[in-house]
Amino acid sequence: IWKILGKTFSYWPTWLVKSITFLHTKVIKFNQTKIGRKLIGDNILLLETTGRKSNKIRKTPLTYVQIDEGYLVAASYGGRDKTPDWFYNIDNKKVKIFVNRKYKDAKPSIVPSSDKEKYWNLLTAVYPTFNLYRSKTDRDIPLVKLITE
């Protein structure tokens, strides 16, 4: 379902994005089942950050690809011209992720421009709609490694 809906994500109003994100964070454990992966999609992790202004826990479901150091995600926000809030909340601190039915501590590391194309190829192999997101914005979409211990 998400592979179809994701193609229209950039057109959704902010209130709908927030509502869907809230619902997705509530069903993320279901997503880690065979049925959940069929309905919602494979390669979804839950990123937990602390809001830089609110100091509240913020949860964001993200498509990922597994890499040697941990996991790779994109701050694509569906191809919008605005960088998603979660990106500012990582601030190179430790974060938590929920992936493969387990919580893990991770350290965010922003991928340098010189390495981005290699990592984009990995992400688009898992979720080709990232190519659509990239074409919709002039923004340089940040890629983030979530390095696990």
Other residues' Cβ atoms within 10 Å of the Cβ of residue 84 = 19
> pLDDT of 84-137, one tens digit each?
999 999 986 889 999 888 899 999 999 999 999 999 999 999 989 899 999 999
Q: Per-residue pLDDT for 1 more than 50?
A: no
> pLDDT of 8-67, one tens digit each?
666 567 777 666 666 666 566 555 545 555 555 578 888 999 988 888 888 888 999 999
> pLDDT of 28-44, one tens digit each?
655 554 555 555 557 88
Q: Per-residue pLDDT for 71 more than 60?
A: yes
Compute φ and ψ for 44, nearest 5 degrees: -115, 125
For residue 74, give the H/E element and its range. Answer: strand 70-74
Contact 148, 104 (CB under 8 A): yes
pLDDT at residue 28, as a whole number:
60
For 70, the token pair is: 């941990």
Q: Which of 109, 91, 101, 113 shows the shortest CA–CA distance to 148? A: 109
The CA dihedral of 79, 82, 86, 87, to the nearest 10 degrees, is 90
pLDDT at residue 111, as a whole number:
97
Q: Is 62 helix (H, G, I), strand (E, B) or coil?
A: strand
